[in-house]
Amino acid sequence: MKVKESMGRKVFLVSNALILGLVGFLCLAPMLHVIASSISDPITLARERGFHLWPIAPFSFEGYKAVLGYQNILTGYGNTVFYVAAGIVFNLFLTTIAAYVLSRKRFMPGNVIMLFIAFTMLFNGGLIPNYLLIVRMGLVDNRLAVILPSAFNAFNLVIMRTSMKEIPEALEESARLDGANDLQILWHIIIPVSQATMAVITLFVAVSIWNSWFTASIYLTDRAKWPLQLFLREVLINNSQRSLNAGVKASAMTLQTLVKYCVIVVATLPILFIYPFLQKYFVKGIMIGSIKG
Amino acid sequence: MNWKQLAANYRSNKLLYWMILPVICFVILFSYVPMFGLTMAFQDYSLVKGIFGSKWIGLENFQDFFTSMYFGRTLRNTLVLSFFDLLFSFPAPIILALMLNEVRRLRYKKLIQTISYMPHFISMIVVAGLIMEFTNSSGVIGSIVSAMGGTPKSYISLPQYFRPIFIVSEIWQHVGFNSIIYLAALSGISEDLYEAARIDGAGRFRQMLNVTLPGLTPTIIIMFILRCGAIMNLNFEKVLLLYSPSTYETADIISTYVYRIGIIKQKIGYSTAVGLFNSVVSFALVLTANKISKTYTEVSMF
């Protein structure tokens, strides 16, 4: 049914679209500024500051070349990739097993255990007792201090359990009649049909660990174990050039402003490239998580 | 459920019980042991003597906090910052979702959505770094001010600007991502309801008022309950990165105070007490919001 639209309606639609365009621009602008600045002429950039949506000519890739020469940034990158990978493995392992068991109707204490775990979403010990636990476990300056606290999360369990509950029981029944045990059912039947949910959890975990810095900042003093974000903090927040200085000649000093932007791009781009493709998955994840949460 | 049934259930599903065991151990160790550690709040905790050897001092730590100058300042800052956050950041994604819902060109809608999610994926460190760059005297805001004839200042180090900077950046970071849930709720409203409203002669605005908003209300209430529970848990990492001694007056919230006093100064018992105060208030707020909602709207989380 095609309705002829009134003048007022047209004005509304156009101004609505324009405002949304402005919102989109505002969301994008800071990142555009960073990218434009990262390939600008280093000398003019250091002098002018301000806001740039377009790089200052002559374009320069000196900053990116310099970033590749900073040992700290490379160390941080390597560590972050390691923490993300370890986090994904731990989270998928613990979440999948727990969700499988807790979504089985024949597992009697399921609801009690679920409550026991879900309660931790509402109330927890807070910063200091958690900190002391890690200290008492002797994990200060140990990579496990970063990996273990984020190895499992009740929110992800809720998402996974909900999606596993929706899998028809008949699928499992036939396998059980054939004599399959629970590990076999999980591996051969449940996991293959849960891949979309596992992708959601992988994405959530990857983004949160990639961007996390606080845990590492209180437990790790050894710079060799620092994730990228801590080096970034040194460069961006503390305004210390320590991360960038090591092994760099004085001639590179003019590059410092430029390098700041390059480091942001290098640290942020991987995630900004991935998320649009996984959008449909995390939208689904948020829905399940918040409705059943 | 009695023990006999449970034993029988265990015998026929042994593997399930063994599979869940490591997860339970993990949750006990990393969630319930710290909860037990909250008893340090009632101790003159000493790292050497540990939790079983330290002296019990009752509510002394709490008394110290309530009578110190920090109690009023950190509680006020937490509540004020949270109130303004709630006032501006909570409705923003709802408005964005309603606007996106009116867009007829689906590709344009999709594009704006994708772009608006982006800030959510940028790390806190980078966001804080950008805020500091934009708000320093030679940054964007400074240039606008000097173009209008004013004198640019370093805004992030002035206490009167901390709250606006925090709130605006909070909206920027989360407006798009938080609109997802409302958009999903909007797409769940049946087209028949709009059809019926049109037949009854309702214009676009009446349709929004009488069909769209009621359809969105349960989601708004649930999100509001969740948000109330988070009143005491503001974006702690962001405050920590953005504040400085010159802005403590407006920026120092309870959780950043706990961090300074506990992790930096190592006053464990006292900082645990301050943290516990925060958690208890926070827990009470969720329960209250949930209860109120249950009574008046029949929507609740638990």
Residues A198 and A249 in one domain: yes
Q: Answer yes or no: is pLDDT of A248 > 60.
A: no
Q: What is the pLDDT of residue A288?
A: 66
- Considering CB atoms only, which of A27, A97, A106 is closest to B23? A97
The number of folded domains in chain B is: 1
Q: What is the pLDDT of residue B179?
A: 93
Final residue before a domain boundary, out of A26, A45, A60: A60
B121 and A271: CB-CB below 8 Å?
yes
| Chain A: closest CA distance from residue B183 (Å) | 10
A17 and B240: CB-CB below 8 Å?
no
Whole-structure pTM value: 0.90
**More confident position, A94 or A56:** A94
Q: What is the pLDDT of residue B208?
A: 83
- Considering CB atoms only, which of A109, A133, A218 is closest to B33? A133
Summarize pLDDT for B222-252 with one digit per residue, the tens. 888 878 877 888 889 999 999 999 999 999 9
Residues A250 and A141 in one domain: yes
- B46 assigned to some structural domain: no
Q: Residue A35: what are its φ and ψ, rounded to 5°?
A: -65, -45
- Considering CB atoms only, which of A107, A125, A218 is closest to B13? A107
B241 and A233: CB-CB below 8 Å?
yes
To test the contact with chain A by mutation, choose from B114, B123, B178, B277 the residue with the greatest count of A C-beta atoms within 10 A, namely B123
Question: What share of chain A has pLDDT > 90, as a percent?
Answer: 46
Residue A293: which pLDDT band, with cuts at 50, 70 and 90?
very low
Q: Which domain holds residue A97?
A: 62-293
Residues A203 and A250 in one domain: yes
Nearest CA in chain B to A274: B121
Residues A16 and A159 in one domain: no
CATH number of domain containing B75: 1.10.3720.10
| Chain B: closest CA distance from residue A159 (Å) | 15
Residues A43 and A81 in one domain: no
- B148 assigned to some structural domain: yes
Q: What is the pLDDT of residue A60?
A: 80
- B262 assigned to some structural domain: yes
Q: Which domain holds residue B144?
A: 60-297
A252 vs A47, A61, A69, CA distance in Å? 15, 13, 11
Distance CA A159, CA A118 (A): 12
A29 in B contact zone (CB under 8 Å)? no
Q: What is the pLDDT of residue B50?
A: 85
Low-confidence stretches of chain B (pLDDT beneath 50): none
Distance CA B278, CA B137 (A): 36
- B14 assigned to some structural domain: no
Determine the 3-state secondary structure of B19 from DSSP: helix
Summarize pLDDT for A165-187 with one digit per residue, the tens. 988 888 888 888 888 899 999 99
| Chain A: closest CA distance from residue B248 (Å) | 17
The number of folded domains in chain A is: 2
To test the contact with chain B by mutation, choose from A45, A93, A96, A128 the residue with the greatest count of B C-beta atoms within 10 A, namely A128
- B34 assigned to some structural domain: no
To test the contact with chain A by mutation, choose from B15, B23, B257 the residue with the greatest count of A C-beta atoms within 10 A, namely B23
- B120 assigned to some structural domain: yes
Q: What is the pLDDT of residue A259?
A: 85
Residues A73 and A215 in one domain: yes
Determine the 3-state secondary structure of B286 from DSSP: helix
Residues A134 and A79 in one domain: yes
Tell me the one-letter amino acid at B295.
Answer: T
Q: Answer yes or no: is pLDDT of A263 > 70.
A: yes
Residues A39 and A122 in one domain: no
Q: What is the Cα gyration radius of chain B? A: 25
Residues A258 and A135 in one domain: yes
Distance CA B210, CA B243 (A): 44
Determine the 3-state secondary structure of A119 from DSSP: helix
Residues A76 and A41 in one domain: no
Final residue before a domain boundary, out of A21, A36, A60: A60
Summarize pLDDT for A187-230 with one digit per residue, the tens. 999 999 898 889 889 988 998 999 999 999 999 999 999 999 99
| Chain A: closest CA distance from residue B283 (Å) | 7
- ipTM value for the complex: 0.89
CATH number of domain containing A117: 1.10.3720.10
Q: What is the pLDDT of residue A121?
A: 85
Q: What is the pLDDT of residue A290?
A: 60
Final residue before a domain boundary, out of A60, A78, A104: A60
Determine the 3-state secondary structure of B43 from DSSP: strand
Contacts of A58-66 with CB under 8 Å at 24 or more apart are A60/A258, A62/A255, A62/A258, A63/A38, A63/A39, A63/A255, A63/A258, A63/A259, A63/A261, A63/A262, A64/A38, A64/A39, A64/A262, A64/A266, A66/A248, A66/A252, A66/A255, A66/A258, A66/A259, A66/A262
Residues A40 and A93 in one domain: no
Question: What share of chain A has pLDDT > 70, as a percent?
Answer: 89
- B28 assigned to some structural domain: no
Residues A185 and A73 in one domain: yes
- B19 assigned to some structural domain: no
Q: For the residues of B58-119, what is the DSSP string, one character each? A: TTHHHHHHHHSHHHHHHHHHHHHHHHHHHHHHTHHHHHHHHHHHH---HHHHHHHHHHHHGG
